[in-house]
A and B are shown apart, each in its own frame.
Chain A
Amino acid sequence: MSLGKPSRVRRAQLVANELEELAQRISRFPATLGQTVDDVEVWLCRTSRWAFGFEPTGLRPSLMLGRDQIGLRVLKDGKLGAASCTRFDESTWRGCVDQALAAATTTAGPSQFTAPRTRKPGPLTFDPDLCDAILAPGELHRMADAVVDNLRHEATRTPGLTAFGGHARYTLKRFVVGTRGGVCASIHGGVSAEVVLNRDHADTFHTVHNPESFQPLALLGVRTLRGRPTESASPRDLGLRGRVPVVLHPRAFEALLRRLVAPLMAGSSKQNTLGFREGDRVAHSAFTLVEDAGLDGLFSSRHFDDEGSPTRRNPLVMRGRLTQTLLPRGPNGQPGSAASYRHTLGTTEPQEVGPRPTASSLFVERGEVAFHELVAGLDKSLLVQSFMGLHGADPITTQFSSGVGTGVTLERGRESRLLAPGAWNVSGACLTLPGGVAGFLSDIVLSRELYDTGTAILPYCLTTLSV
């Protein structure tokens, strides 16, 4: 595929043909193994990426053309073995199968697997006539060029603007999962962009559908620039210390939910890892959290997971009560509620050790208060747009302490000053555990506005945290 030509329609045909060929070859492979295995599951992710970094000297291009990641799991006499490679080549796969088979048959332990977990033959979910995942990279190049040109121009005439950066990126992923039972395949494209000004203020753009207009992307730089407060403030300037009202931007809210709440909703029984049971109150009655890989328009949405099973909608918390635990599938093909993925969000590499139950797209139900009403009553507080390092978040207590990456002060109900870099730290806990500190999800007000982060749809969240 080239940057400028051929047209989007022609490109869609080329990608459709390529996906069909991948699916055909994967579907034929299990039969070539004869009786050496009882079954084999082949998972493929082919990634292409066109990226342009925004730098003071211009665009920095970076391309990745057709990078394959292939995971194989073999079943023999009730035992499962796994191997992986990055080469789309049947003889390499046969070598992987031999290695996986050797490990499976020499591993001690019960023979518990009766079938690989991919068993439902599915249709190709990609329809070239409907495909809007395809973007001519030339369009992205022209748009990125416009953004960086605009930023360079603004940098010369905007006092105080000393540095800018960011990127525009188009990623195309093809997923195929095949066994002797069948094959399923899909294609996912997405454009994302980010502009960062003076290393302390950022804005993002993303879409998984071909937009009718690229104007929002072209205007990203200007939007970021116009929305940037010119002054910054430290906790001392604001006189804030201790427990203070904090508004979590949906991106920051999602980061906390993904790291500390969604994983804890997974378990091997009706009781999850934190000890909550279904029906227990875990959050304020305004809080409803749904895991739904079928949400349209999100990078994290998929029709089938990395085991080839159809995904489903899982209400995790309804009006503050735990309604469902994400259960993995059983070894004998018992249905589970959790989808399993090799890629976890935020990582570039698949897990070497195979798919694991993971939350896909997240949805939090809206509140009843408009954002401006939410902040109108606050004399002094913070709007945290991103965290800087949630690595210290403790998954067994849901406590966290993190620096603030970007954010602004809310003074007299308005966005006022930037949060000085490296000067702000917020801490708290997400959930209230027996004997533990109170979780912030028990004390929240959610905005009426919903925000699409690219992997979740959430409202703004007003709560109280320690600063």
Chain B
Amino acid sequence: MTADAPAVQAHDLIKTYPGGVRALDGMALTVAPGTVFGLLGPNGAGKSTTVKILTTLARPDSGTALVAGHDALRHPDRVRRSIGVVAQRSGADPVATGRENLLLQGRLYGLRGAGLARRADDLLARFDLVDAAARQVKTYSGGMQRRLDVALGLVHRPEVLFLDEPTTGLDPEARTAMWDEIGRLAGDEGLTILLTTHYLEEADRLAERIAIVDRGRVVAEGTPDALKGELHGDAVQVELRDAPDAVDGHLIATALGEFGGVRDVTLDGRRLSARAEDGPAAVPHVLATLEQQGVTVASVTVARPSLDDVYLRYAGRRFADADSGTAPGAGVPAPAQAAAPANPSGGAR
């Protein structure tokens, strides 16, 4: 595989499960080598099915999938040698020790003898499992099991590592530790990571590029910042010392709106909110205008749009609603809709 060829490239994947459930409906993605790519979407969006196809477990009804330069449909064996897989369910043998699990995994890739033993020791040390190496995996905590799973996926030094919901079911502390670990992996030379998650925060924090998946296809793709940037505008929230009366309020809103880049000004009691193309740059103008109007400011906050806003915009529903399986639209309350910065002029920033 050449240096700049994509590590993963999937085109128009369709997969229908018995019973007519269409899990994938034109899924397509391209992952550049050496990057961390996040597939973000609620449960049932098609993330796991995509991973199963790319890791040769399942076959699509149609479409193509290239992984590490090999055709996953025609040469699954070559793909298997090049990838490491950390599935949603642990998969480690609970009766075997951590070390035995690693040794067996290595043997399946043809590693033997002293080289394999050294590799297992390195991984045990790296994932902080040295003390637990000789203990049966069934005695491990959730976080330890997950670390062992990642170690199992790395034993043969794969080119592409698949992490399918790596932190689901972990407590917050273990999750943070796992994030740090994945962050370090991303620094490994040449390792490409394809991560699926239904945690917005996780995708935001770990992935260089994100594809938002909904109903079996990618609805938006880009860097987290670009995706958020496409929403056109940061939220600027100003807390006033005293609530102005209706007439003053109208004057303030009109004055603020005269600036380029500040819009959607609303006043609710002492709370004034607006959207600005570039929030931090707009703050001095906002403050100066308010001072001219004789209004005292208690506090100002500027917030970048969250991936939740992005998801709402592209999938047409709030992430949490989609995740709990709510029918589209049905669970989206009107105020949340109003908060969506559905800017008709949206596009380039």
A binds B: no
Which residues from chain B sit less than 8 Å from chain A, CB to CB? none
